[in-house]
Amino acid sequence: MALLTGLSSPQNDTGHRGLLWLLKVLALLGLIVLSTWLALLPKKPTSTISALFVPVTGYSNSSSVAGGGNSNTTISYTLEIVNTNKNSGIYYDDIAVTISVGDDKLGENIIAAFYQGKGKKKKAHISMKADQKVMSNHAGEFSLVKAQLKVILVTRIRYKTWGKKSKHHDLKLQGEIPIGSDGEIRGKKKKIKLHHSNKKYRNRTIKLE
Domain count within the chain = 2
pLDDT surpassing 50 at residue 89 = yes
Q: What is the pLDDT of residue 11?
A: 62
Q: For all residues of the chain together, what is the average pLDDT?
A: 83
The region of weakest confidence among 12-16, 52-56, 145-149, 175-179 is 12-16
As a whole number, mean pLDDT of residues 174-185 equals: 95
Max CA separation in the chain (angstroms): 112
Closest CA to 48 of 186, 195, 202: 195
Q: Are 18 and 85 found together in one domain? A: no
Q: Are 48 and 33 found together in one domain? A: no
The helix (run of H) or strand (run of E) holding residue 38 is helix 10-40
> What pLDDT, in 10s, does the model give residues 65-77?
444 455 678 999 9
> What pLDDT, in 10s, does the model give residues 115-132?
999 999 999 999 999 999
Grade residue 31 by pLDDT with cuts at 50, 70 and 90.
confident
As a whole number, mean pLDDT of residues 171-189 equals: 94
Closest CA to 185 of 27, 40, 56, 23: 56
Q: Are 27 and 101 found together in one domain? A: no
Q: Are 20 and 75 found together in one domain? A: no
Q: Are 93 and 158 found together in one domain? A: yes
Contact 59, 135 (CB under 8 A): yes
Contact 179, 142 (CB under 8 A): yes
Contact 192, 177 (CB under 8 A): yes
Region of 30 on the Ramachandran plot (φ > 0 left; ψ -120 to 50 alpha; else beta): alpha
Give the CATH number of the domain where residue 119 resides.
Answer: 2.60.40
What is the C-alpha separation between 108 and 121, in angstroms, rounded?
22
Q: What is the pLDDT of residue 71?
A: 67
C-alpha triplet 92, 173, 57: angle, nearest 5°: 110
As a whole number, mean pLDDT of residues 198-203 equals: 47
Contact 72, 53 (CB under 8 A): no
pLDDT surpassing 50 at residue 48 = yes
Range of the domain at 175: 43-196
Residue at 203 is within a domain: no
Task: Please state the separation of Cα 104 from the chain's center in Å.
Answer: 22
Q: Are 13 and 79 found together in one domain? A: no
148-161 and 121-129 strand pairing: unpaired
What is the C-alpha separation between 107 and 96, in angstroms, rounded?
11
Grade residue 28 by pLDDT with cuts at 50, 70 and 90.
confident
Grade residue 18 by pLDDT with cuts at 50, 70 and 90.
confident
Grade residue 7 by pLDDT with cuts at 50, 70 and 90.
low
Q: Are 71 and 129 found together in one domain? A: yes
202: CB partners within 8 A, 6+ apart: none
Q: Are 185 and 93 found together in one domain? A: yes
Please provide the size of the chain in residues. Answer: 209
Contact 64, 138 (CB under 8 A): no
**pTM to 2 decimals?**
0.74
Side chain identity at residue 30, one-letter code: G
What is the C-alpha separation between 122 and 10, in angstroms, rounded?
67
